[in-house]
């Protein structure tokens, strides 16, 4: 079994267990800011905040509105987050999880490692001071930044682009028997899980190694729906499994040493 480096796992776990004290841990809801001005907004307002930023932002808004968070249950805190439009979108989640790995292996933040076609002074400044707000699925999975990967070759850290390039999943764990792929797990933040929308995990069990993801068995949290699998079916010709150039073969080898 191979998995993401420990620091990446810590970030993953933090989004699944936002700590509001008194034993109240909340899974981050989904939030995506569709406003074109989001690139100049704060990370949390853009749906790109770190776990710590998300917690602090909710505390601040509760203070302003004179809401005593200490009196709220986990469910009430999560509802308040949803009402306040505080959460994480899919590319924000992936970027924050992979950022410490990229920093460790390339000595450069993920935002600085990604290649972009637009080089205006304004965009350069935004990228420098607001890197996560300026990372989306299109950028992460563009030909300049990621290469296609065969299903049988997947590794932790690989991306699955779905919904025709509007959504991204992150492979966090891969199970193999010798060199044969058995299954892999993934994490993502999605708005398609109803009241449970937000950070979710899933698993793909390999039934036909040489076939596409379409023919494998997807396991998800909803009993009668498979939002991640359904996303793979949307505009399938635009979807795919990809590996960031910033996480090269050297990074994969070093991952077992990265603590």
Cβ(18)–Cβ(55) below 8 Å: yes
Q: Decide if 6 is inside a domain.
A: yes
Owning domain of residue 19: 2-90
pLDDT at 142 exceeding the cut of 50 = yes
What is the distance between the alpha carbons of residues 94 and 6, in angstroms, rounded to a whole number? 15
Q: How confident is the model at residue 124 (pLDDT cuts 50, 70, 90)?
A: low
Q: Decide if 105 is inside a domain.
A: no
pLDDT at 244 exceeding the cut of 90 = yes
Give the closest residue to 246 by CA, choosing from 99, 94, 54, 35.
99
Q: Which two tokens stand for residue 102?
A: 């990229």
**Helix, strand, coil % over all residues of the chain, rounded to 5:** 40, 20, 35
End-to-end distance of the chain based on CA atoms, in angstroms?
17
Q: Decide if 113 is inside a domain.
A: no
pLDDT tens string 147-175? 999 999 999 999 999 999 999 999 999 99
Q: What is the pTM of this model?
A: 0.91
Q: How many domains does the chain have?
A: 1
Q: How confident is the model at residue 113 (pLDDT cuts 50, 70, 90)?
A: confident
Cβ(61)–Cβ(95) below 8 Å: no
Q: What is the pLDDT of residue 116?
A: 80
Q: Decide if 207 is inside a domain.
A: no
Q: What is the pLDDT of residue 223?
A: 86
Q: Decide if 199 is inside a domain.
A: no
Q: Decide if 148 is inside a domain.
A: no
Q: Decide if 98 is inside a domain.
A: no
């Amino acid at each position: 079994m191979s998995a993401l480096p420990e620091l990446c796992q810590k970030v993953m776990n933090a989004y699944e267990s936002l700590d509001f004290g008194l034993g109240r841990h909340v899974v981050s809801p989904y939030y995506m800011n569709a406003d074109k001005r989001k690139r100049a907004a704060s990370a949390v307002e853009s749906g790109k905040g770190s776990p710590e930023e998300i917690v602090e932002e909710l505390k601040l808004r509760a203070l302003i509105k004179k809401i005593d968070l200490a009196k709220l249950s986990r469910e009430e805190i999560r509802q308040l987050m949803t009402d306040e439009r505080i959460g994480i979108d899919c590319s924000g989640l992936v970027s924050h999880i992979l950022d410490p790995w990229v920093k460790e292996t390339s000595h450069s933040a993920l935002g600085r490692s990604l290649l972009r076609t637009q080089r205006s002074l304004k965009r350069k400044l935004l990228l420098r001071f607001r890197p996560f707000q300026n990372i989306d699925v299109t950028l992460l999975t563009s030909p300049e930044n990621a290469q296609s990967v065969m299903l049988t070759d997947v590794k932790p850290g690989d991306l699955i682009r779905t919904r025709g390039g509007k959504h991204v999943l992150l492979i966090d764990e891969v199970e193999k028997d010798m060199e044969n792929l058995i299954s892999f797990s993934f994490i993502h933040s999605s708005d398609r899980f109803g009241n449970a929308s937000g950070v979710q995990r899933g698993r793909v069990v390999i039934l036909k190694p040489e076939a596409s993801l379409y023919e494998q068995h997807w396991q998800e949290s909803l009993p009668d729906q498979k939002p991640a699998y359904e996303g793979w079916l949307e505009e399938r010709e635009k979807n795919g499994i990809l590996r960031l150039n910033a996480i090269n073969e050297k990074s994969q080898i070093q991952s077992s040493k990265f603590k």
